Structure 1
């Protein structure tokens, strides 16, 4: 009698390969969000009322970052394809092309964000903000000025972000994610020390609140960039001569990235605009909602590890022209995402009170609202939200690794701008549900994105070869 057999996509060797890639990438990517969580926790102990200034600043900074990192994703995809066919020595031209793009994009975006910060936030918070009873005595001009000041500091980190992520993409595609992880956590450690100095006032430094957070983030990001660049130069063929690539290689590298950039703008821009809507409600609503989304973002780093590893495995199989392996790699990534989401969601539900007390002082109050209990109640909703957030990432990464660019981008635009933002505005502001309405609207948006991206992945990769080639 034959035993129960596993699906073709769940072969032990493939699972081990996914884990070997995804765990170090997740740990590395978690450093991004760990910096944000560290900033939020330190700020929550000293000046939780200033968290909205940091969150709102990520509207121009986050959208710029999402655009740049999306454009540069082709470094990972094309390097993985060359790795898949055993031509690692030719990958240097991919890295160099990506680095040139990183410098140009980083400089331009830094200048633009610095210049638009003040007029943008004055328009959003002074000229455009709707009247909200919950807003109370909020000084909208102060909110605009404080957010602009934080944004200008963070704008100087954009070039560093671009350089470090080209290096990360390249090293991960060369299957050296552990190196990226080590360097990233060096940055996390430095960021924590700088937070304690600039926000907590340790070692005789003045307490600078939200601006101190921005300074810590900028300094630690530049440190990561310098160290990663040194690792790439010393340990990879990045600067070694390589033969010219195919005539359309540069176009392919950036066309893969354009779709990802549009998706990032939709997702990051959509989420960051919800912080603006929450601030229109009140600073307390922004703070409670913002801390909850920070936890969701931390969970997202686990999914980003799975998504990035799935992208590498799909791109390698795609480069070899093996449709069966492409399909299996995508399905394994989706299955791993669902399993991870069940575990993370359970943790958020079971430990919501503990997590909220870690984020802010247990006695912290803002506009008469006890912050820790309010955050704890939203983490239960966030538990349902996180799994769909992971699905939309894994499925869209797997689609782009097959050079299917525009479909995942359109899904992201529709889900985050046409579903999530209106839902947050309606539930949070119009219906007066405050922070809870905001998190409910965000849940609706990521649910739609997760389901549609997963359906699209299955549809695209399960079709006959001749149909997909058409």
Structure 2
């Protein structure tokens, strides 16, 4: 039941890409299903509580994705080592990655607890929104450590062609999250919590379960000992620097992109409670859909990294083109489904008719950015797998800070388009990012 790719002679074909991408997509969908369950449970409990949840989640997501970016070197270095035939050294990559993840998780959580509530109260939000979101944010901060450490193990397993166990771990955590949300959010438990804060505690518990499940999977894999997982990590400052260096560029890229999207929640908050709730629905649905191209991007990156490590330039080109083609086909199908189901999707999130109306219109319009957003993540991953780490970062800084934020603000508030204006700005920025990254990949493979 696992997709095992343990040699550098992996065939670069569409079945290979899909065999890797399928379980990765399921794993990433598991991440978003957790957020989807939280959003639906809280939204159906109270539209106001959904606003608290969205505002508490936005800064947390910035730090989470930034932290995960710091760990991207685990997957890149593992894939390249396999391509070069150095399998026995991949265990040391994992051990360095886990130690790094523990440090990152603690630092990120403390930073968010110290500064998060203060920032919520000083970005122009109504005081009741900031007050309601602050305790939600603190609980989310506590859950950063287990999800970051667990993800380090997942990245390592995926680079070894074992995405299925990681997906199963994530869906096991989802079961925990669903049960706890149904119990805690409506206030049925004996604990004095309900609504958004209760959902955040469910997220904390499910992420702890995820980390423990990943640890069990790694330790019980029969090849772990041969790969050096249980051996003392050799002292190698150069390897540690390479791990961090790849992560620095990816984390800046992830920070910029996520912070920019998080700022859209603030812009929606300036419009009003109904707008921030509607944008939360649009953003959650888009993030859920984004897991499909993200899974394809991870699979593309693994194949590109192995070909790059083996010195196979034609393989790099073929893997990249497969990733772009598969992503284009998948996102066009997704757009067709959303066009038909937009009102039903909005209705699933909330009973509030005002929020539902705004969200349904914005969901329909969001089909404009699904394809370019998917292509840009595949392009970025294909470049990072070739150790071309700073161009994706520069592209994201330009596209999401310089293009997206000003456009979204102008469209949404001065031009009066509201949440639809935010969607137009996101679509423009995604198109710019995709064009630049695909162009960079095409230039590299033709050299």
- TM norm structure 1: 0.89
Query: CA separation in 1, counterparts of 2:245 and 2:445?
Result: 20
Cα distance between partner residues in 2 of 1:100 and 1:123: 35
What is the match of residue 227 of structure 1?
213
Question: Which residue is 2:257 aligned to?
Answer: 267
- Give runs of aligned pairs for residues 274-293 of structure 1, distance below 5 A: 274-293=264-283
1:158 aligns with 2:148: no
Structure 2 equivalent of residue 210 of structure 1:
196
| Per-residue deviation, residues 266-291 of structure 1 (Å, max 9, x unmatched) | 11111011101110111111111220
Q: Are residues 1:413 and 2:413 paired?
A: no
TM-fit CA distance, 1:440: 1.4
| 1:125 CA displacement | 2.9
Q: Check the 8 A contact 1:90/1:242 in 2, yes or no.
A: no
In the alignment, what sits opposite 1:309? 299
Structure 2 Cα separation of the partners of residues 159 and 453 of structure 1: 31
Shift in alpha-carbon separation, 1:60–1:13, aligned structure 2, 3 A: closer
| Whole-angstrom distance in 1 between the partners of 2:371 and 2:198 | 33
Change beyond 3 A, Cα 1:19–1:245: farther
The 2-side partners of 1:462 and 1:147 are apart by 50
Structure 1: how far apart are the matches of 2:206 and 2:347? 26
- Structure 1 Cα separation of the partners of residues 409 and 40 of structure 2: 27
RMSD after superposition: 1.8
C-alpha contact (below 8 Å) 2:12/2:319 kept by paired residues: no
User: How many Å apart are 1:234 and its aligned residue?
Assistant: 2.1
Q: Please report how far the alpha carbon of residue 59 of structure 1 lies from its aligned counterpart in structure 2 after TM superposition.
A: 3.6
CA distance in structure 2 between the partners assigned to 1:180 and 1:165 by the alignment: 9
Classify 1:13/1:262 alpha carbon distance in 2 versus 1 (closer, same or farther; 3 Å). closer
Partner of 1:72: 71
Determine if contact 1:54/1:210 at 8 Å carries over to the other structure.
Answer: yes
What CA deviation, in whole Å up to 9, does each residue of 1:326-378 have, x standing for no partner? 111111101111111100010000111221221222xx14xxxx222322211
Shift of 1:244: 4.7
User: Could you say which residue in structure 2 is the equivalent of 1:251?
Assistant: 241
Asked whether the 8 Å contact 2:95–2:233 carries over to 1, the reply is: no
Match runs of 1:314-393 below 5 Å: 314-361=304-351, 364-365=352-353, 370-393=354-377
Change (3 A) 1:247 1:152: closer
CA drift at 1:206: 5.8
Residue 57 of structure 1 deviates from its aligned partner by 2.0
In structure 2, relative to structure 1, the CA distance for the partners of 1:103 and 1:69 (3 Å cut) is same
CA distance in 2 between partners of 1:85 and 1:242 (Å) = 22
* 1:170 and 2:169 are equivalent in the alignment: no
Q: CA contact under 8 A between 1:54 and 1:147: conserved in structure 2?
A: yes
Counterpart Cα distance in 2 of 1:279 and 1:248: 46
Check conservation: 1:263, 1:408, Cα contact below 8 A: yes
Would the aligned equivalents of 2:102 and 2:149 in 1 still touch at CA under 8 Å? yes
Q: Report deviation, 1:461.
A: 2.2
User: What are the equivalent positions in structure 2 for 1:190-201 lying under 5 Å apart?
Assistant: 190-201=176-187
Tell me the CA shift for residue 204 of structure 1.
6.0
How many residue pairs are counted as aligned between the two chains?
434
Q: Secondary structure at the match of 1:248?
A: helix
- Whether the 8 Å CA contact 2:293–2:378 is kept in 1: the answer is yes
Whether the aligned pair in 2 keeps the contact of 1:348 and 1:379 (CA below 8 Å) is: yes
CA distance in 2, matches of 1:153, 1:244: 37
CA contact (8 A) 1:197 1:207 kept: no
Using the TM superposition, give the Cα deviation of residue 410 of structure 1 relative to its aligned residue in structure 2, in angstroms: 0.5
Relative distance call for 1:75 and 1:13 in structure 2 (3 A) is closer
Pairs within 5 Å for 1:52-91: 52-91=51-90
Question: Do the aligned partners of residues 296 and 283 (structure 1) sit closer, same or farther apart at CA in structure 2, a change above 3 Å counting?
Answer: same
Q: Is the 8 A contact 1:266 1:412 kept in 2?
A: yes
Contact 2:78 2:90 in 1 (8 A): yes
Given that 1:125 and 1:280 are in contact with CA atoms closer than 8 Å, whether structure 2 keeps it comes out as yes
1:429 equivalenced with 2:428 (yes/no) = no
Mean Cα deviation higher: 61-70 or 273-282: 61-70
Whether contact under 8 Å (1:187, 1:223) holds in the other structure is yes
Unaligned stretches of 5+ residues in structure 1: 1-10, 127-139, 464-470
Instruction: Say which of 442, 445, 457 aligns to 2:429.
Output: 445
Retained in 1: the 8 A contact 2:269–2:276? Answer: yes
Matched, 1:183 2:169: yes
